[in-house]
Amino acid sequence: MRAAALAAAVTAGPTQWRRARICRDARCRTAFYDRSRHGSGVWCSMAGRGTASKHRSLVERRRERAGARPRRDPSGAAG
């Protein structure tokens, strides 16, 4: 399916080439045709690559925030 989408971009003309992309996931690097409304797609499959990438980013941000704040005592005791 992805190959067919890229083939359609090639035959459609130079304006369609702007939507040809390479997946942002370093382990994937698949070529795909960006069908997003604003031409801002970065993953070949949001369900597979995009979700995993967004999850990794979320976990990293949470770890950074947790590392920046002093940890609370789980027992609730002061000081």
- Give me the numbers of helices (H) and strands (E) for the chain, helices first please: 3, 2
Residue 64's CB is within 10 A of a number of other CB atoms, namely 9
CB 33 within 8 A of CB 41: no
Residue 59 pLDDT grade (very low, low, confident, very high; cuts 50, 70, 90): very high
Between 25 and 69, the higher pLDDT residue: 25
User: What distance lies between CA 31 and its chain's CA centroid?
Assistant: 14
User: Which residues are registered as beta bridge partners of 22?
Assistant: 31
Between 59 and 22, the higher pLDDT residue: 59
Q: What angle do CA 33, 52, 28 make, to 5 degrees?
A: 45
Residue 78 pLDDT grade (very low, low, confident, very high; cuts 50, 70, 90): low
Query: Is 58 a residue whose pLDDT tops 60?
Result: yes
Q: Residue 10: what are its φ and ψ, rounded to 5°?
A: -65, -45
Task: Tally the residues of the chain.
Answer: 79
pLDDT, tens digit, for every residue of 1-54?
Answer: 566 666 665 666 666 777 888 888 778 878 888 888 888 787 777 777 778 888
